């Protein structure tokens, strides 16, 4: 077996013809892309707040953008991203009466935690490479 075939098998891809690697990226809308990458403890607090008071954790996360938290909207100004997060919080608060906002709020908090974990993983691997 040639070198390329061995590398493909090691990566867990069972292809006998070629070693093509396909990368999939999620396309995010502007509201979803405005969720900030926060430190893990802050993201967990926002999830907790979003679970019991819909929109409150999202409202707090909007202020982390003003404090320098990174988002997936690098081409937009900080104030625009801040107002997008405020809009998401207001949508969650207003629609919480019919349970839609509450569910959206919980999922939003889970996304915050997932983004915090992925950012921590990136930082950890970057320090290990140095």
Contact 53, 43 (CB under 8 A): no
CA pair distance 32, 81, nearest whole angstrom: 11
Residue that has been written with the tokens 């690697």 in this structure: 21
Number of domains comprising the chain: 1
What range does the domain containing 62 cover? 30-129
The answer to whether position 109 is within a domain reads: yes
- Burial class from Cβ neighbours inside 10 Å (0-12, 13-18, 19+) for residue 83 reads middle
DSSP at 85:
H
The answer to whether position 55 is within a domain reads: yes
| Residue range 20-73, pLDDT digits in tens | 888 887 788 888 999 999 999 999 999 999 999 999 999 999 999 999 899 998
Q: pTM of the entire structure?
A: 0.73
The answer to whether position 75 is within a domain reads: yes
Structure tokens of 44? 């967990």
């Amino acid at each position: 077996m040639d070198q390329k075939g061995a590398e493909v098998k090691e990566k867990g891809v069972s292809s006998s013809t070629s070693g093509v690697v396909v990368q999939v990226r999620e396309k995010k809308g502007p509201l979803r892309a405005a969720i900030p990458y926060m430190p893990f403890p802050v993201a967990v607090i926002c999830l907790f707040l979003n679970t019991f008071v819909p929109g409150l954790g999202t409202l707090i996360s909007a202020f982390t953008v003003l404090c320098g938290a990174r988002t997936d909207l690098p081409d937009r100004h900080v104030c625009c991203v801040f107002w997008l997060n405020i809009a998401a919080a207001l949508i969650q608060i207003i629609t919480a009466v019919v349970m839609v906002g509450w569910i959206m709020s919980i999922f939003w908090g889970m996304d915050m935690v997932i983004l915090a974990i992925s950012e921590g993983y990136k930082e950890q691997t970057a320090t290990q490479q140095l």
